[in-house]
Amino acid sequence: MSNIFSYYLYGIAVILLSISFVKNKSKTLIALKKSLKMFLNILPQFIAILFLLGLLLAAIPSDVIKNTLGENSSFSGILLSAALGSATIIPVIIAFPIASQLLQSGAGIVQIAVFISTLTTVGLITMPLEIKYLGKKTTYMRNMLAFLFSFITAYITGWALR
Amino acid sequence: MRIFKKHLFLIVVLSANFAALIFLPQTGIKSIEFTLKNFMNFLFMLAPVFICIGLMDVWIDRETMVKLMGKNSNSKGILISFAFGVVTAVPLYALLPVAGMLLKKGSKISNVLIFICSSASIRIPLLLFEVSYMGWKFTAVRFVVNLFIVFAIAIIIDKNLNEKDKNEIYDNAYRL
């Protein structure tokens, strides 16, 4: 997934780090220690999420994803696309090229749109992590609303592009 | 016992993976392969994010942040949160630590929600990429609709949180 967008992030981090280092060495070291501590704090959750994602990806072959998004345009197909988008973590950098290919081969626009929306805004398997930062109530509400609103975005997109 | 409860999710998932290795070795091995590959990707993505929030923690003092995105920041705070969100093109899991830091520094919860929601659905650095694959019409419609949805979600959640919920969120942010 090494793409230019992560490099852009690295660029920002390096620039900020250099400025900080020139301004105050000891403060910069404290910052780095804090970064590490905050990271280690959430590491167990991250590892759990990664193993869960690994299981999901191993259990759902990529063909299934392609078939779900590619075939029937019925409501159940759209619902299934939304479920897939909510449950998986695929970088959009990888998702857009796949989505565009599927569209060209006749996939429904609503499925594709709902898949992209849920993929980016609903994080079913990252929920334990989100709860750690935002608490249960906010996390449940945010994911539920994002899921519901993904359908609105998708239907409007489908209607505008019909 | 406390450690067991604290890491319940991790223990359950690891057991599931272990069971897969024994009963469905093919799926199990594939799962471990995916996990290792994704671990490298996640680390690569998270390293700069955590460096930035560590620097934020040290250099940005509470008063500044409260002024920018805190209780009385009003429309300016909303605008700053939205702008900060749309230029941050990272996946949801990498956004959360940033949100935690914003809360720790005293940003208003509704502003942090605007930040998360806008960053998840509108990513300016990725717009051209989306246009080149999905076409400008698809991208434009999604962009405009998402503009409204971001604020709708943030407002609905904020209206449904009472004082107690909000205090819990802030207490939690201090402990991160």
pLDDT in tens, A51-94: 988 888 888 777 777 777 776 667 888 898 899 899 888 888 78
Residues of B in Cβ contact (< 8 Å) with A133: 96-97, 99-100, 103, 172-173, 176
Q: Which two tokens stand for residue B11?
A: 């223990």
CA proximity to B6, closest of A57, A113, A131 = A131
Give how far the C-alpha of residue A149 lies from the chain's centroid of Cα atoms, to the nearest Å: 16
Across B67-89, average pLDDT: 91
Q: What average pLDDT does the structure give for chain A?
A: 87
Residue A153 and residue B149: Cβ atoms within 8 Å? yes
Phi-psi region of A135 (alpha: psi -120 to 50; beta: other; left: phi over 0): left
pLDDT the model gives residue A65: 73
CB B137 within 8 A of CB B112: no
Residue bearing the bigger pLDDT, A160 or A101 = A160
Give how far the C-alpha of residue B171 lies from the chain's centroid of Cα atoms, to the nearest Å: 18
Q: Which two tokens stand for residue A7?
A: 């490099």
pLDDT the model gives residue B1: 62
Q: Which two tokens stand for residue A156?
A: 């409007």
CB A85 within 8 A of CB A77: no
Residue type, A52: L
- Residue A1 predicted with pLDDT over 50: no
Window 22-81 of B, Cβ < 8 Å to A: 27-28, 30-35, 38-39, 41-42, 44-55, 57-59
Residue type, B70: G
Please, what's the b/e burial string for B6-23 (b: 16 or more CB within 10 A of its CB; e: otherwise)? ebebbeebeeebeebeee
Residues of A in Cβ contact (< 8 Å) with B54: 31-36, 38
Residue A54 and residue B35: Cβ atoms within 8 Å? yes
Residue A51 and residue B153: Cβ atoms within 8 Å? no
Three-class DSSP category at B104: helix
Structural domain boundaries in chain B: 1-59, 62-176
Residue B153 and residue A100: Cβ atoms within 8 Å? no
Cα atoms in the Cβ-side hemisphere of radius 13 Å centred on B119? 23
Q: How confident is the model at residue A29 (pLDDT cuts 50, 70, 90)?
A: very high
pLDDT the model gives residue A75: 82
B21 touches chain A (CB under 8 A): no
Say what percent of chain B tops pLDDT 70.
Answer: 99
Across B55-84, average pLDDT: 91
Burial of B175 (0-12, 13-18, 19+ CB in 10 A): exposed
Q: How confident is the model at residue B45 (pLDDT cuts 50, 70, 90)?
A: confident
Between A31, A51, A109, which is nearest B54 by CB? A31
CA–CA dist A32, A98 (Å, integer): 38
pLDDT in tens, B120-150: 999 888 888 889 889 999 999 999 999 999 9
Assembly ipTM = 0.88
